[in-house]
Structure 1
């Protein structure tokens, strides 16, 4: 189809309607071929290409499932309280307060205010990392020759900057991130061993315990020893559900977790939300 004229370009663009690429958002989300929830409950359906990013504001009580489709995705994640971005994911507190550096099912993702932003409710991967953060422009330039967003080897922090800007956030708002599907293990001497992935099809499901802004960069883990930039598609699905309630096993799992949930409920109750 000729696109040398405005009319031709318009006709060409309109002819793409309904075309579905391998990596793209699906709008509306409930047209996803095999939704993991009741019809109409799906609110986010997207496949994120390797070396790309995505973002969304999700309501409290949403379940968010990330799937490593081919075994080489690495979902670097940041969370912000949706209407007050100064409250954000604090990876150090997430590790310290729960006495555990390894993420997985029944772990909580905590803010710097001692409140729960999200909880991990299912995990078939077991290969995650809360210690290394994401890749940077300088490091990717050293390793791959470039780290800018439009390059063949974009850095995670550079993609986070783009996602942040689309949500009114600046680079100074970006804290250290955590990552799913590419793990590290801590040796007795404190050194880190790269554990890689659990293979294709592994997934992790989060439940949002507040309204949150989600930023995701799908890029290689900074400890990945491979010389090539290897990053494969990540599936992102989210659907309406309910936040964790008092008395639930996750709420009562540990004294530290219970206190974090109580902090969250007290704050939300004062605002007339919970």
Structure 2
């Protein structure tokens, strides 16, 4: 298509636009605050309020949702993957697991999980790892790295590349072997989901990119659905009674009340 005139250039630009249908609300939810389908190799970002329930869905079985969280009113406080593993004495993410900040506060809790294949140890891919594996990288290439996409998403909130730290990955499992090596357990299959309940207003960064240990030689990440809705009452019914969790929740509530 020619772009020699303003009209033809406009038509060409419009023809390049892609429109992914937004996912629909789950049963019992009357209004969504976020509904988006994220293709493989893409990213998204949103600011979510306290008491929001965030659902991630691996539609076709090969999504990998890499996640970073930043506190909205104090973005220097952000997801700390080391504490998220260390404080609950658990390296494997599942329902009831808190996602902790570096200040000992709960940014989100995993409240539902039908996948069980997640990773808090490896982080996401980089330019170097993707070039080594796929022969190409770059946010607009056929194999964008997670860190590259996180950098773009972070910039939309005034954050810099140095703010992009270690991330969590959902829908691609990793276990630790007896010799200490990390082993990919892959996906649990299509249609699996994980739900997070947000404890403090957060900036959410999501990059849907191939996991660093993905055994496939092809960059074959598939669609990730993202849905969110208000569920503040659920903050009162969390049933994790572990003392470390309760202490982190108390730290969180103290910070929230002081800021009101």
Q: If the length of structure 1 is used for normalisation, what is the TM-score? A: 0.88
| RMSD between superposed Cα atoms in Å | 2.2
Q: Which consecutive unaligned segments of at least 5 residues does structure 1 have?
A: 27-31
Structure 1 runs (4+) greater than 2 angstroms displaced: 1-16, 32-39, 243-246
Distance change (3 Å), C-alpha of 1:210 and 1:15: same
Residues in 1 aligned to 2:56 and 2:216: alpha-carbon distance in whole angstroms: 23
Find 1:258's aligned residue among 234, 246, 252.
246
Distance change (3 Å), C-alpha of 1:190 and 1:105: same
Preserved contact between residue 43 and residue 239 of structure 1 (Cα < 8 Å): yes
Structure 2 residue aligned with 1:167: 157
Preserved contact between residue 91 and residue 177 of structure 1 (Cα < 8 Å): yes
| Cα displacement string for residues 29-79 of structure 1 (whole angstroms, at most 9, x for unaligned residues) | xxx54444432x201110000011000000000011000001000000000
Find 1:38's aligned residue among 17, 29, 42.
29
Distance change (3 Å), C-alpha of 1:245 and 1:153: closer
Distance change (3 Å), C-alpha of 1:119 and 1:52: same
Preserved contact between residue 207 and residue 243 of structure 1 (Cα < 8 Å): no
Q: Which consecutive unaligned segments of at least 5 residues does structure 2 have?
A: none
Q: If the length of structure 2 is used for normalisation, what is the TM-score? A: 0.93
Residues in 1 aligned to 2:2 and 2:219: alpha-carbon distance in whole angstroms: 36
Residues in 2 aligned to 1:15 and 1:188: alpha-carbon distance in whole angstroms: 53
Number of equivalenced pairs: 260
1:267 is aligned to 2:255: yes
Three-state SS of the structure 2 residue aligned to 1:60 is coil
Question: By how many angstroms is 1:264 displaced?
Answer: 0.3
Question: By how many angstroms is 1:15 displaced?
Answer: 9.8
1:98 is aligned to 2:56: no
Question: By how many angstroms is 1:84 displaced?
Answer: 1.1
